[in-house]
């Protein structure tokens, strides 16, 4: 079985850095790269009736936008220099979802940028990279 | 839109400059016109069985809830635990993340029903029907869970799904499609009738009653002033959300409302704990009042009618409105949505309404005649310690324990009123588009009418408004429940198949914890 690396990508500069670093690592040991994009989502948030009605439509639009604007071009770019690459787009809590993606594909390592699109709450409650390092079952490389 | 706003402001300024005497008479005119034009409808819906004082509509709802409870084998208790694990997301496929969850559907439907019915409506019920009304209210709430289960399952099963991924559902859809499927004639006519009553209900209980009570609450704090002023302010905000597309205002309310609900229940619990020595006495009053009336007008039947009426008005079980809200959830199993929805009458009536009633009874807002031990009755309702009725009575009850609570309650009432209006504007809109077809301009016509009724509701007196609100909402139940009777075998089939698959392990939890 080949080695698998999961890289968290959200379009931020730090995640670009994580991608570059992961490609370099993957090349050296011929690993498969799994680019993971997580759309922040909580099933316990509150929606208005109109939002509920349009949710499925919006979800399709969001997935399409993430695929076309973010992940599609990135995968094409990576393929030009490193053939072995896959992508996953999922909804959920970023840390939990990255861990479940890595568990699902049997990843050997997770790469993540140190600061993604951080908000005030991440400053208060801790960053994605920090929580991931604490909770993941596989080694986590935090790229500055 | 800018010009509409300017025009409205101009008109408001003009009326304001005309002075308070003219303003007061506008309120009176609105009121007189309103009660004279809706009186016949109210008396039709609430007409009693010949020779009794028991309104046929109350029997209609309770009989239906009882039949559903028996027919589905007390589903409300059998599936209660399963409902909670569905809401927790135990059975949600992680690959469906990003779709509306059971929790979200429940929370949204609840914020449409938890509102003034729980605060003002309960006060009206115990104010007229005495503490005994609480007993019948809880009973009606428990039975109503089966009605809710039936209608919400059908709402999902027979909804319309459009190519762009949006959905429309509710009684008008399941009555039309379900009747056709079973070969029962008259579905179309019933569905149209339901849609008409739903629009009236949206304008009545979902709008005017809310505006009216919100105004009372504000006036109670800042002093009396003409209702149409509150009406115009409220109408402006509702306008901004439903026509201006400012969903962000609505989102904020949807987020604040659940916390207000929790705060309300906590405050009630604290008051009950502070008077823990009177809890036994209060329950004694509730049970005794339920079967004797304790001197209230109409005796125990009076208590029963008030309790049943308020429960139905508050949790809307059998009315069909929740079926509209729940139908938008993406689920492969319609029955799951029905199971989740049976929590609604429980939370709304059995928990929140009971809290309100207990606080009013425990803080001794209802005046007892020391000579007889019965309640003092004047003009059909019980004399209260503060002289207030409706939301004012609840406010006085909470205020007797925490002097600052009326201010919190005022904010809660305004937010509850607002979120209920937003929910009902959606239900009304669905009925409207069912009748007239989907389309931007058609939708705007309804939304403008909705805003106008906010002003009328705030300006009219409580009596005629509350009567019309009840009548319109119960009229929906008349049609909806006929539909439920015809379609209940469909629900039973779904329920048996689902329960078997749940038992056999074909349907299993995704989460292990």
Model confidence band, residue A122 (pLDDT cutoffs 50, 70, 90): low
Residue B160 tokens, joined: 């319309």
Distance from CA of A36 to the nearest CA of B (A): 14
In DSSP terms, A87 is beta-bridged to A35
Strands A32-40 and A4-8: parallel
Q: Which residue has the higher pLDDT, B335 or B300?
A: B335
CB contact under 8 A, B104 and A43: yes
Q: Which residue has the higher pLDDT, B309 or B470?
A: B309
CB atoms within 10 A of CB B245: 11
Return the SS3 of B55.
Answer: strand
For residue A42, the model assigns a pLDDT of: 81
Is the pLDDT at A123 greater than 60? The verdict is no
Residue B368 tokens, joined: 């007892």
Q: How many CB pairs under 8 A join A and B?
A: 89
Is the pLDDT at B175 greater than 90? The verdict is yes
Domains and CATH numbers, chain A: 4-143 (3.40.50.620)
Distance from CA of A96 to the nearest CA of B (A): 11
CA distance B341 to B103: 10
Between CA B134 and CA B146, with CA B140 as vertex, the angle to 5 degrees is 150
pLDDT digits (tens, 9 = 90+) for B204-244: 888 888 888 888 878 877 877 887 888 888 888 888 888 77
Is the pLDDT at B68 greater than 80? The verdict is yes
Of the candidates B97, B101, B165, which has its C-beta nearest A60's C-beta? B165
Average pLDDT value for chain B:
83
Q: Is B315 at the interface with chain A, CB within 8 A?
A: no
- Residue B179, judged by CB atoms within 10 A of its CB (0-12, 13-18, 19+), counts as buried
Q: Where are the domains of chain B?
A: 24-44+54-91+99-499
Of the candidates B164, B329, B426, which has its C-beta nearest A50's C-beta? B426
pLDDT digits (tens, 9 = 90+) for B366-423: 777 777 777 777 777 777 777 777 778 888 888 888 888 888 888 888 888 888 888 8
Please list every residue in chain B whose beta carbon sits closer than 8 Å to the beta carbon of residue A100.
94
Q: Is B164 at the interface with chain A, CB within 8 A?
A: yes
Is B44:B55 a contact under the CB 8 Å cutoff? Answer: no
ipTM of the complex: 0.81
Which residue does chain A place closest to B322, by CA atoms? A49
Is the pLDDT at B18 greater than 60? The verdict is no
Distance from CA of B186 to the nearest CA of A (A): 28
In DSSP terms, B378 is beta-bridged to B381
CA distance A101 to A110: 10
Of the candidates B89, B100, B427, which has its C-beta nearest A47's C-beta? B100
Which residue does chain A place closest to B167, by CA atoms? A53
The arrangement of secondary structure in B24-44+54-91+99-499, i.e. its CATH architecture, is Up-down Bundle (1.20)
For residue A22, the model assigns a pLDDT of: 85
pLDDT digits (tens, 9 = 90+) for B302-347: 888 888 888 877 888 888 988 988 887 877 889 999 999 999 999 9
Length of chain A: 144
Residue B145 tokens, joined: 């869970």
Distance from CA of B325 to the nearest CA of A (A): 7
- Strand residues in B112-169 grouped as ranges (E): 160-161, 167-168
What sign has the CA pseudo-torsion B460, B57, B113, B269? positive
For residue A98, the model assigns a pLDDT of: 86
Please list every residue in chain A whose beta carbon sits closer than 8 Å to the beta carbon of residue B111.
46
- Residue B244, judged by CB atoms within 10 A of its CB (0-12, 13-18, 19+), counts as middle
Distance from CA of B242 to the nearest CA of A (A): 9
Is the pLDDT at B21 greater than 70? The verdict is no
Is the pLDDT at A126 greater than 80? The verdict is no
Which residue does chain A place closest to B253, by CA atoms? A48
For residue A117, the model assigns a pLDDT of: 59
User: How far are the Cα atoms of A124, B17, B139, B175 from residue B217, in angstroms, in the given order?
Assistant: 38, 25, 29, 39
Once rounded to an integer, what is the mean pLDDT over residues B133-146?
91
First to last CA, chain B: 52
Distance from CA of A58 to the nearest CA of B (A): 9
For residue B496, the model assigns a pLDDT of: 92
CB contact under 8 A, A91 and B165: no
Q: What is the dihedral of CA A121, A127, A128, A129, to 10 degrees?
A: 170
As a whole-number percent, the residues of chain B with pLDDT over 70 amount to 90
Once rounded to an integer, what is the mean pLDDT over residues B110-118?
80
Model confidence band, residue B13 (pLDDT cutoffs 50, 70, 90): very low
Q: Which candidate in A44, A53, A103 is best for mutational testing of the B interface (most B CBs within 10 A)? A: A53
Once rounded to an integer, what is the mean pLDDT over residues B274-284?
89
- Would you give the distance in Å from CA B118 to the centre of its chain? 8
Of the candidates B98, B108, B166, which has its C-beta nearest A54's C-beta? B166
Low-confidence winner among A107-121, B12-26, B145-159, B400-414 (lowest mean pLDDT): B12-26
For residue B3, the model assigns a pLDDT of: 44
Is the pLDDT at B250 greater than 70? The verdict is no
CB contact under 8 A, A46 and B105: no
CA distance B490 to B154: 8
Please list every residue in chain A whose beta carbon sits closer than 8 Å to the beta carbon of residue B164.
57
Average pLDDT value for chain A:
81
Q: Which candidate in A40, A41, A49 is best for mutational testing of the B interface (most B CBs within 10 A)? A: A49
Residue B156 tokens, joined: 């999902």
Residue A129 tokens, joined: 């990279």
What is the pTM for the complete model shown?
Answer: 0.84
Give the residue from B169, B93, B117 showing the smallest Cα distance to B311.
Answer: B117
pLDDT digits (tens, 9 = 90+) for B418-430: 888 888 888 999 8
For residue B16, the model assigns a pLDDT of: 42
Please list every residue in chain A whose beta carbon sits closer than 8 Å to the beta carbon of residue B325.
49, 52
């Amino acid at each position: 079985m080949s080695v698998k690396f999961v890289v968290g990508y959200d379009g931020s500069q730090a995640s670009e850095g994580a991608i570059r670093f992961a490609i370099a690592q993957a090349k050296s040991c011929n690993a498969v790269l799994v680019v993971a994009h997580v759309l922040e989502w909580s099933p316990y948030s509150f929606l208005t009736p109109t939002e509920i009605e349009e949710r499925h439509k919006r979800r399709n639009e969001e997935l399409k936008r993430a695929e076309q604007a973010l992940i599609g071009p990135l995968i094409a770019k990576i393929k030009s220099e490193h053939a072995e690459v896959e992508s996953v787009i999922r909804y959920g809590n970023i840390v939990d979802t990255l861990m479940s993606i890595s568990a699902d594909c049997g990843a050997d390592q997770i790469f993540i940028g140190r600061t993604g699109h951080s908000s005030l709450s991440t400053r208060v409650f801790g960053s994605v990279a920090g929580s991931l390092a604490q909770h993941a079952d596989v080694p986590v490389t935090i790229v500055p | 839109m800018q010009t509409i706003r300017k025009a409205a402001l101009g008109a408001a300024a003009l009326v304001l400059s005309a002075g308070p005497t003219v303003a007061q008479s506008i309120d009176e005119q609105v009121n007189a016109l309103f009660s004279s034009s809706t009186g016949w409808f109210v008396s039709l819906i609430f007409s009693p069985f010949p020779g009794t004082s028991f309104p046929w509509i109350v029997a209609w709802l309770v009989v239906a809830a009882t039949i559903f409870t028996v027919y589905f084998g007390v589903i409300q208790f059998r599936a209660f635990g399963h409902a909670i694990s569905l809401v927790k997301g135990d059975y949600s496929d992680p690959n469906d993340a990003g779709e509306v969850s059971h929790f979200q559907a429940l929370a949204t439907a609840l914020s449409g029903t938890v509102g003034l019915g729980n605060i003002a409506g309960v006060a009206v019920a115990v104010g007229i029907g005495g503490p005994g009304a609480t007993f019948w209210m809880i009973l009606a709430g428990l039975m109503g869970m089966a009605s809710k289960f039936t209608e919400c399952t059908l709402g999902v099963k027979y909804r319309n799904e459009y190519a762009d991924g949006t959905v429309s559902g509710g009684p008008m859809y399941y009555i039309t499609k379900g009747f056709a499927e079973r070969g029962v004639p008259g579905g179309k006519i019933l569905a149209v009738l339901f849609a008409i009553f739903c629009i009236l209900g949206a304008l009545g209980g979902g709008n005017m009653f809310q505006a009216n009570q919100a105004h009372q609450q504000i006036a109670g704090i800042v002093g009396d002033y003409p209702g149409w002023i509150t009406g115009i302010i409220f109408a402006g905000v509702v306008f901004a959300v439903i026509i201006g597309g400012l969903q962000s205002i609505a989102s904020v309310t949807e987020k604040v409302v659940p916390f207000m609900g929790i705060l309300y229940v906590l405050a009630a619990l604290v008051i009950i704990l502070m008077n823990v020595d009177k809890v036994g006495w209060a329950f004694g009053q509730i049970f005794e009042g339920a079967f004797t009336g304790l001197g209230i007008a109409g005796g125990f039947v009076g208590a029963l009618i008030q309790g049943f009426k308020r429960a139905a008005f508050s949790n809307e079980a059998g009315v069909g409105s929740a079926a509209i809200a729940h139908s938008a959830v993406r689920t492969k199993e319609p029955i799951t949505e029905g199971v989740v929805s049976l929590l609604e009458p429980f939370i709304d009536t059995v928990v929140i309404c009971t809290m309100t009633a207990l606080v009013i009874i425990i803080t001794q807002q209802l005046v007892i005649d020391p000579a007889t031990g019965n309640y003092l009755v004047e003009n059909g309702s019980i004399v209260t310690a503060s002289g207030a009725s409706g939301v004012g009575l609840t406010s006085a009850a909470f205020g007797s324990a925490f002097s600052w609570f009326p201010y919190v309650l005022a904010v809660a009432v305004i937010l509850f009123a607002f979120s209920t209006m937003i929910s009902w504007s959606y239900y009304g809109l669905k009925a409207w588009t069912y009748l007239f077809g989907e389309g931007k301009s058609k939708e705007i016509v309804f939304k403008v009418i909705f805003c106008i009724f906010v002003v009328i509701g705030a300006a009219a007196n409580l009596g005629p408004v509350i009567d019309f609100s009840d009548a319109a909402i119960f009229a929906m139940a008349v049609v909806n429940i006929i539909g439920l009777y015809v379609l209940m075998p469909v629900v039973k089939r779904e329920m048996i198949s689902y329960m078997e698959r749940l038992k056999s392990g074909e349907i299993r939890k995704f989460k292990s914890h």
